[in-house]
Amino acid sequence: MTETIETTRSFKPKFSPEGLIPAIVTDQRSGDVLMFAYMNETALNETIATGIAHFWSRSRGKLWKKGEESGNLLKVIELRTDCDQDVVWIAAEVQGDGVACHTGERSCFYRRVVEPADAKNAVLEFAPLPAPKVPKV
């Protein structure tokens, strides 16, 4: 069988033309999505080498060790990639105060879209994170 990007055991992360790969971070305990950011090759290598999530700050144009100042580092419990190897998913344990968002919220996704009658007039609601319903053992 021919080995493809979907079946290979080689990690060949595919970066965008800008040299970035999207990274999803979830809370390893609850499964909630905590944040989303981009990594460049250096950030991904640092993440793997240190076990602490690093990103590329597009706004500041530099390597970003998340939580370096606040102490809310993201400890990598598991790092995954998808079928096309153009996204990574980190299941993390948030260190320090357990806060992943710069607003002070635990997750950046603290608002949900309220079902609108009209998509153009959708509004947001501050709401607790969705709960996984079936714990796996």
Q: Which residues bind its own copies (CB under 8 A)?
A: 6, 8-11, 22, 24, 26-33, 35-36, 44-46, 48-49, 77-84, 87, 89, 91, 101-103, 105, 108-113, 116, 119-120, 122-126, 129-137
CA 131 to each of CA 10, 27, 33, 98, 110: distance values in angstroms, whole numbers, following the listed order: 34, 12, 11, 18, 13
**Minimal distance, residue 121 CB to its own copies, in Å:** 8
* Cβ closest to its own copies, residue 26 vs residue 73: 26
Q: Reduce the DSSP state of residue 94 to 3 states and report it.
A: strand
> Measured from the CB of residue 80, what is the shortest distance to its own copies in angstroms?
4
CB of 131 to its own copies, least distance (A): 4
